[in-house]
Amino acid sequence: MYSHNLMKNIIRHFNIIYILFLFIFLFPAIYLFPQERHNNCIECHSKFEEEETSPTIEFKNDIHNTSGMLCSDCHGGDPEINAGGNQELAMNPKKGYKPPPGHNEIPEFCARCHSDFEYMKKFNPNIRVDQYENYLTSQHGKLLAKGDDKVANCVSCHKTHGIRKKTNPASAVFANKIPETCSKCHSDPEYMKEYKILTNQLEMYKKSVHGEFLLEKGDLNAPACNDCHGNHGAAPPGVESVHNVCGVCHSGNNQLFLKSSHKKYFDEFGFPECASCHEHHLIKKLTEESLGVGDQSVCGICHTQEDEGGIIAVEMKNIIENFSALRDTCQILSEEVERKGMPVNEIKYQMNNVDSELLKARNIVHSFSLENIKQITEEGTKLAISVKKMANDELKEYQIRRIGLAVSLFFIFLAGTALYLKIKKIDKKNIINSF
């Protein structure tokens, strides 16, 4: 019914002759626009490629395919010729066909396009084209240049024919897939044997605060391997640039560390700055136990109980431990207040501030200045004491309420007893046995 009306309308509005004109003059114009290009490569190759990982199958979801590229755009040859099974005709070197690149040739192979901004900007005007350049400076790239065919190249991480955007969660280089991807080689002791480097990075990373956030809590902003080592220029940061790497996010602590006396000595002795205490990959969350010179202390690695640094370390430990203990007392009190149903809003608000003071106090340790720590904890302690007082006041009020209740219940009991006696008394007179 509806379509019928529509047709009527069209006919009414567009003169039939006009429509004929359109057909006659515009129809051929369609041929002027490019048609979907034939891809005979897939047609033939898919006949003998049945595995999931075969190029023709994997290529279906490849970013190059979805961007409208054909096999020949990388491999050359003529995909449009109907070769009828004649390989020489389709894979004709004269038509640009090249055999698949070897392991060492791949970076250059990809870079033909990916380093050409003129070409790449057609797809994305903001695209990066420095990957190849970066790669050449990476440990991988350097070894590859020396003819090492075990090191990672583009396809080791990005896959060969199933390349996806890094923002695609199915991609091997999606934020939370990166640790797994790097570990394919780096956690294999057999494979890494000849490079003489550790293979426990993934294991350590999973235990680290970064790994916990990225892999367990799903926070895609948490750093993976590439955020510290670089994407394509992957290399361990030099000892003196650790603070810069960590400082990208932990800028406050970085600033404190740079101004501290430790920076100079760490560099002199070749200690890896942040990693000297927090370790690399494990990114240890240090506690008060790490201060001082005890068994679990990191200060104790260099300092002893006798030297000046050791004495300061012990004092730092005591100050922060005291503050932290006071904070815990406040927490317990505030929980008790809440459990007893007393108003807890103000206490909780101030408790947040105490918590952030404690955080500040722990952070200020990176200045390695006793004075700074004293100053921060003093403010925090004042606040905590006021919270403690508020909580105690509430608990006192709670007791007062109890006592008030007891008193009024006693009064009720008194009146009730009197009433009971009165009833007993008048009952003698008033109970009627014949009703």
State the residues that interact with another protein by CB under 8 A. 219, 221-222, 247-252, 341, 343, 345, 348-349, 352-353, 356, 359, 401-402, 404-405, 407-409, 411-423, 425-427, 430-435
Torsion of CA 150, 152, 157, 159, to 10 degrees: -50
Burial of 18 (0-12, 13-18, 19+ CB in 10 A): exposed
Helix or strand or coil: residue 304? coil
DSSP code for 368: T
Residue found under tokens 């509005």? 13
DSSP 8-class letter at 260: S
Contacts by 41-46 with C-beta closer than 8 Å and gap 24+? 41/70, 41/71, 41/72, 41/75, 41/77, 41/79, 41/90, 42/71, 44/83, 44/85, 44/90
Our CA dihedral for 130, 133, 137, 143, rounded to 10 degrees, sits at: 120
Going by C-beta distance under 8 Å and a sequence separation of 6 or more, which residues neighbour residue 188?
199
Separation CA 365–CA 373 (nearest Å): 7
8-state DSSP, 216: I
DSSP 3-state of 162: coil
- In the chain the first and final C-alpha atoms are separated, in Å, by 89
The one-letter amino acid at 114: H
Q: Residue 256 has which token pair?
A: 């404190």
Which amino acid, residue 244? N
CA distance 173 to 180: 9
Alpha carbon distances (Å) from 369 to 95, 285, 296, 355, 377? 71, 20, 21, 21, 13
CB atoms within 10 A of CB 434: 3
Element (H, E) at 143: helix 139-145
Q: Among residues 112 and 401, whose Cβ is nearest to another protein?
A: 401
Q: Which of the 8 DSSP states describes residue 112?
A: H
Measured distance CA(420)–CA(365) in Å, rounded: 71
- Tokens at 393, concatenated: 């006041």
Of residues 98 and 396, the one with the C-beta less far from another protein: 396
In the complex, what is the shortest distance from the CB of residue 301 to another protein, in angstroms, rounded to a whole number? 26
Backbone dihedral angles phi then psi of residue 294, each to the nearest 5 degrees: -75, -170
